[in-house]
């Protein structure tokens, strides 16, 4: 028979066990709720209707002060969660002062990553050169943005000799050739007050980078010089409106070059005319110029615009097709109809 003392001890043990289980359950629920809250608090504030919000992080701001700025600006839900996320990412000392344009669609972790990269430097300015721009287009755009003197810019890019010592690839160009086609189209960030030479060198350096990383290893696929590749790429750039057709247009031009057939590219005539006419006249295609590929076989002596990376790659990796002709569609897609024979080309319906 169990003594009263043992019964009391057993009841006490059971109560402690129940209390312990209860505490564990409560603790697990609390942890679960905390994790759920933390995860929710790190999500973007507004995913459906995001807004850009400009903030300023003063120099020397602590993580507590930065968290308050973000909370007051409506970019985060909870300052403590932000600081915990900072610790988890080991980024407490990585946040940088500066002016930022953040978005309410950014999560806490995206904000931390963005703030770690550094804010806008008021000593720099950005400019963008679109693909297919000619040197004169660049001069006008940069001049309009107050970054260069257009005449000085054009004087400097008129002869590759001005930059040949710094960029050896320019030695592959013809004597006295301009930099048409070799100022790479991209977005650049430069110091305010940069000279024309410094801006041109940045663009040449970008071409050198793309050439070394993307183009150089593919040059042995075609029996062409660098100048010929860039020239062909510039024509492709001006003819193609869609990325998926660049290799097809390249294939057409390669096929024509192989059989000594004139390229008959409207883009080359437009370059001679100095304007991008929608439709060329019979007189236009007869214009006397070495750049006119309607009356001269082979490639022009130099590029007619600055090609982007996709056109450069297309020039050395054309599609394996039998096409010799293409014409623009009239359906607003920017696409073309490709044909093998002249008869097919003539019969092709551009409205389809």
Instruction: For each of the domains in the chain, give its residue range(s) and CATH number, in order of start.
Output: 52-117 (3.30.1490.480), 124-214 (3.30.1490), 223-347 (no CATH)
- How many helices and strands (H and E) does the chain possess? 12, 6
CB-facing half-sphere around the CA of 203: CA atoms within 13 A: 33
SS3 299: coil
Rounded Cα distance between 106 and 87, Å, is 19
Contact indicator for 330, 345 with CB cutoff of 8 Å? no
pTM confidence score: 0.67
Closest by CA to 199, choosing from 137, 129, 101, 264, is 129
- Whole-number Cα distances in Å, 201 to 21, 97, 104, 183, 192: 72, 30, 38, 9, 15
Rounded Cα distance between 322 and 341, Å, is 9
How big is the chain, counted in residues? Answer: 352
Q: What does each of the 352 residues of the chain score in pLDDT, given as a tens digit?
A: 556 666 666 677 777 888 788 888 888 888 888 888 889 989 999 877 788 898 988 877 888 999 999 999 999 999 999 999 999 998 888 888 888 888 999 999 999 998 988 776 666 788 999 999 999 999 999 999 999 999 999 999 999 999 999 998 999 999 999 999 999 999 988 878 889 999 999 999 999 999 998 898 899 889 999 999 999 999 999 999 999 999 999 999 999 999 999 999 999 999 999 877 777 788 888 899 999 999 999 999 999 999 999 999 999 999 999 999 998 888 778 889 999 999 999 887 776 6
């Amino acid at each position: 028979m169990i003594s009263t003392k043992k019964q009391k001890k057993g009841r006490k043990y059971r109560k402690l066990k129940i209390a312990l289980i209860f505490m564990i359950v409560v603790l697990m629920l609390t942890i679960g709720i905390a994790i759920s809250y933390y995860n929710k608090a790190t999500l973007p504030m507004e995913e459906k209707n995001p807004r850009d919000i400009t903030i300023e992080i003063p120099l020397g701001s602590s993580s507590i002060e930065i968290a308050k700025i973000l909370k007051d600006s409506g970019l985060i839900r909870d300052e403590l969660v932000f600081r915990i996320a900072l610790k988890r990412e080991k980024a407490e000392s990585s946040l940088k002062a500066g002016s930022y344009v953040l978005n309410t669609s950014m999560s806490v972790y995206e904000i931390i990553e963005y703030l770690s990269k550094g804010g806008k430097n008021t000593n720099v300015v950005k400019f963008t050169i679109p693909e297919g721009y000619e040197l004169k287009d660049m001069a006008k755009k940069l001049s309009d943005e107050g970054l260069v003197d257009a005449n000085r810019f054009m004087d400097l890019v008129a002869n590759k000799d001005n930059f040949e010592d710094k960029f050896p690839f320019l030695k592959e160009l013809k004597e006295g050739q301009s930099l048409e086609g070799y100022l790479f189209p991209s977005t650049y960030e430069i110091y305010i007050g940069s000279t024309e030479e410094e801006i041109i060198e940045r663009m040449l350096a970008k071409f050198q980078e793309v050439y070394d990383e993307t183009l150089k290893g593919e040059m042995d696929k075609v029996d062409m010089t660098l100048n010929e590749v860039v020239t062909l790429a510039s024509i492709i750039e001006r003819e193609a409106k869609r990325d998926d057709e660049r290799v097809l247009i390249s294939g057409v031009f390669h096929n024509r070059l192989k059989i000594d057939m004139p390229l008959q590219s409207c883009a080359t005539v437009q370059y001679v005319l100095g304007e991008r006419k929608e439709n060329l006249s019979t007189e236009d295609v007869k214009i006397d110029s070495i750049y006119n590929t309607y009356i001269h076989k082979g490639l022009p002596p130099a590029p007619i615009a600055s090609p982007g990376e996709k056109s450069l790659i297309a020039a050395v990796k054309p599609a394996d097709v039998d096409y010799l002709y293409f014409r623009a569609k009239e359906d607003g897609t920017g696409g073309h109809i490709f044909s093998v024979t002249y008869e097919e080309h003539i019969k092709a319906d551009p409205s389809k």
